[in-house]
């Protein structure tokens, strides 16, 4: 049976920018039994979508003790909050559960599988842009030809069927390793550089920063290839061309998290590149330098810096 054939129970851990949108889309279709798992109570979500705004009622629980095993878990916390979500996963998962990890990075399965009691854990790459406007209100912006991507395997196909009718466009990709690394390459420069300089994406247009980004990307492409990704020699140039298409006034999640004095997702992004380099016996001096600086900020006592 797939999600398309019969009602499935779906729990969404994390009703933030991305999870709030997925929860609202699934609840709106009304085909499945959807429960939000959050830290604060809520009974509805408003989604400002690209075409329309909807408000949907949603069952939300705030204590893992209230959770029961489900067919599907969508894990949509920031990667650094995965451990904090462990009590939810322990209550929601059995060996029959499928856990879709909707987080950035490349190490979804390694990060989450130990917490899921033998459930099937698989990665979902998120392409849509989400913004939480209020605890009960999220805005979705389209950022490409598809909104989500999964591997073209059994869990990926079942996930795609689960989302049928939600309006979220799921791409199924045979070469998922390459797709995951391509997404990480975009994040590998835009996030660290905007967070470190405390400047929006306009900073990537400086000639010296642009050149540095190309060097970081060259190094990262070497690691990605060793990890099994198939990437052309001009991939760094293509990544920068894509980044130049984004409006200069856009921020990144690391930039916004740093501005707000929150911890940011350094280990799942730059940390994952350095770790993959270590696995393959390849040096990553540029990424390692970025990682050291980002960790120093992330682990420092919190204060709110001045934006530019």
Nearer to ligand NAP, 3 or 19 (CB): 19
Cβ neighbours around 154 below 10 Å, total: 12
Determine, following the binding rule CB under 6 A, whether residue 132 of this chain makes contact with ligand NAP. Answer: yes
Determine, following the binding rule CB under 6 A, whether residue 16 of this chain makes contact with ligand NAP. Answer: yes
Report the nearest approach of ligand NAP to the CB of residue 128 (Å).
Answer: 7
* Residue of the chain from 18, 112, 286, 290 that contacts ligand NAP (CB under 6 A): 18
Sign of torsion, CA 272 275 279 280?
A: positive
Contacts with ligand NAP by CB under 6 A: the residue count is: 28
Q: DSSP strand E in 22-164: where?
A: 33-37, 44-48, 53-57, 59-61, 72-75, 98-101, 120-123, 125-126, 129-134, 137-141, 148-151
Q: For ligand NAP, which stretch binds (CB under 6 A), given 16-24, 146-154, 161-169, 238-246?
A: 16-24
Q: Write the interaction track for ligand NAP spanning residues 156-175; mark x where CB under 6 A is met and - where it is not.
A: --------------------
* Residue of the chain from 3, 49, 130, 236 that contacts ligand NAP (CB under 6 A): 130
Nearer to ligand NAP, 132 or 295 (CB): 132
Long-range contacts for 252-255 (Cβ within 8 Å, ≥24 apart)?
Answer: 252/187, 252/190, 252/191, 252/194, 252/195, 252/201, 253/104, 253/191, 254/191, 254/192, 254/194, 254/195, 254/294, 255/191, 255/194, 255/195, 255/198, 255/199, 255/200
Helix (H) / strand (E) element for 259: namely helix 253-259
CB–CB of 142/128 below 8 Å?
yes
Phi, psi of 149 (to 5 degrees): -135, 140
Nearer to ligand NAP, 37 or 216 (CB): 37
Contact positions with ligand NAP (CB under 6 A) in 78-117: 78-79, 81, 84-85, 88, 102-104
DSSP character at residue 4: T
Paired residues of 224 in beta bridges: none
Report the nearest approach of ligand NAP to the CB of residue 187 (Å).
Answer: 8
Report the nearest approach of ligand NAP to the CB of residue 6 (Å).
Answer: 27
Contact positions with ligand NAP (CB under 6 A) in 21-80: 37-40, 76-79
Q: For ligand NAP, which stretch binds (CB under 6 A), given 7-15, 41-49, 243-251, 300-308?
A: 7-15
From 6, 183, 237, 245, the catalytic residue = 183
Alpha-carbon gap, residue 99 to 120, rounded angstroms: 6
Q: For ligand NAP, which stretch binds (CB under 6 A), given 10-18, 26-34, 48-56, 292-300?
A: 10-18
Q: Are strands 44-48 and 137-141 parallel, antiparallel or unpaired?
A: parallel
Contact positions with ligand NAP (CB under 6 A) in 238-257: 253
Q: Are strands 53-57 and 44-48 parallel, antiparallel or unpaired?
A: antiparallel
Determine, following the binding rule CB under 6 A, whether residue 124 of this chain makes contact with ligand NAP. Answer: no
Nearer to ligand NAP, 14 or 49 (CB): 14
Clarify whether 183 is annotated catalytic: yes
Alpha-carbon gap, residue 129 to 279, rounded angstroms: 32
**Residues of the shown chain interacting with ligand NAP in the complex, contacts defined by CB under 6 A:** 13-19, 37-40, 76-79, 81, 84-85, 88, 102-104, 126, 129-130, 132, 253, 265
List, by residue number, the catalytic residues: 183
């Amino acid at each position: 049976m797939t999600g398309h054939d019969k009602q499935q129970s779906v729990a969404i851990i994390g009703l933030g920018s991305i999870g709030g949108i997925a929860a609202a889309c699934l609840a709106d279709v009304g085909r499945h039994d959807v429960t939000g798992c959050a830290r604060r109570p809520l009974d509805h979500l408003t989604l400002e979508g690209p075409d329309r705004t909807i408000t949907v009622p949603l069952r939300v629980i705030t204590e893992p003790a209230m959770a029961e095993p489900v067919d599907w878990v969508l894990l949509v916390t920031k990667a650094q909050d995965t451990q904090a979500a462990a009590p939810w996963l322990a209550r929601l998962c059995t060996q029959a559960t499928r856990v879709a990890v909707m987080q950035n990075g490349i190490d979804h399965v390694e990060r989450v599988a130990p917490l899921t009691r033998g459930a099937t854990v698989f990665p979902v790459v998120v392409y849509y842009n989400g913004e939480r406007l209020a605890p009960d209100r999220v805005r979705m912006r389209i950022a490409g030809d598809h909104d989500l991507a999964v591997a073209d395997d059994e869990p990926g196909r079942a996930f795609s069927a689960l989302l049928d009718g939600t309006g979220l466009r799921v791409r199924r990709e045979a070469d998922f390793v390459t797709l995951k690394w391509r997404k990480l390459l975009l994040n590998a420069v835009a996030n660290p550089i905007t967070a470190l300089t405390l400047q929006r994406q306009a900073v990537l247009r400086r000639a010296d920063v642009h050149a540095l980004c190309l060097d970081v990307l060259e190094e990262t492409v070497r690691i990605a290839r060793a990890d099994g990704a198939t990437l052309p020699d001009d991939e760094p140039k293509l990544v920068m061309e894509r980044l130049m298409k984004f409006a200069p006034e856009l921020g990144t999640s690391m930039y916004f998290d740093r501005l707000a004095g929150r911890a940011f997702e350094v280990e799942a992004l730059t940390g994952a590149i350095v770790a993959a380099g270590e696995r393959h016996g390849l040096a990553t001096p540029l990424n390692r330098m970025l990682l050291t600086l980002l960790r120093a900020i992330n682990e420092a006592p919190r204060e709110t810096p001045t934006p530019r």
